[in-house]
Structure 1
C-alpha cells in the first residue's frame, strides 16, 4: 500500500477510534509478515522506572484492548500495582503507528478460562511450568518443570493456573500516526477524561 492510499480525509471523517483501529488492524493482517497483533506494552514499577515489552493483542472491542500473561511476572506485578499502562502498535510495511494510554482492569474469569482453553496444549503446560521473570538456573530446570506438569496433567483437562489471566487496557487516549513525505506525517488523537466518557478528536503537528 502506498502512502497516498490513506489520505488526511480518512482520518478526519472517522469519529470512532475503535472502528478506525479495526480497519488498520485488518490492513495489517493482510500486509504484515509476522504477528500483526504484536504490541509493545509499557508499565512502571514501584519506583517509577518504566519497562516495555512485546505481547500479542488477543481481542478488542469498545471496552478495551486485551492481552494475557502471568500475573506473577514483572509486567503482571507492575500493572497490578499501578493499574495503568500504555501500548504502541507499529506496522512497518504500512508506515502506521497507533499509541494508547489508559486504565487497566483484569478480565473476568470466564473470559480468561475461554481463552486459556483455546491455547495449544504445550502453551497451557508452559503457563504452569514457567515462573516468568524470575531467575532460571538452567534450561534443563525449565524442561524438567515442563515434563513434571505434562505428567501431572496427562489425564483430563489442563486447568488455568490461578496466577494466569488477562488485562484489558481501557484507553483514555488513542493516537493514529501515518507516515507522509518530507516527515509531514498525519497525527490524529482521540482523547477522553475517563473510559466512560465520549471522545474528543484533534489533529497534531507531526
Structure 2
C-alpha cells in the first residue's frame, strides 16, 4: 500500500460521514493506524501510561519496546529524538503497546517481578548496551553498586561509565537501573528523579 492508498482511506471515511457530528475521530484514527501499518509507513508506535510515578511514554518498533520515558524527560523532546535517531514515521498507536502497558500496570500493583517483553536496544550501543544487559540480572527487590555492575560488565574500573549507562538508559523500570546504588548505600542520581527512584525501590522492598 502506497501513500496514495493511505490518502484514499481518509477520503473514504470522510465521505461516509453525513456531517461533522457523524465523524468518529477514534474510528478515523484506528483506520489511519491500520492503513499506515499496512503501507509500511509506521515504524514506531507510542502511547502514554499513567502510573504511581507519573505518566510514562512508551514507544516500540517491530523489534520490541524501544523507549520508556518519564514526564521529567519531556515526552515531546523524547519523541523528537526518536524521530531523528530511529524514524520520523511515528504514530500514536496505543493498541500495539497493550502488553507493555499491562505488564507495567502489574508491576506497579506489586503483582509482577520481571518483564517478559521483546526489547529493541538500538538506542544504545557498545559498553552501555553491555551494562543494560547486566542490569537485567539484578533481581527484584535487590540492589547492586555501580562498582559491582562494572565488574559484572567486565570493566572493573569503568564505574563512571556504568553511571553514564544508567543515566542514559532508554528503558527505565523495564531495564532496572533504579536498582543500582552507590557503594556507600546512598541511592545516587536517577533520570526520573531521586524521588521516583526511592518510590521504585520502596515498591520492590514492600512486595
Provide the TM-score with structure 2 as the length reference: 0.29
- Give the number of the structure whose residues are more often strand, by fraction: 1
- Give the number of the structure whose residues are more often helix, by fraction: 2
Provide the TM-score with structure 1 as the length reference: 0.29
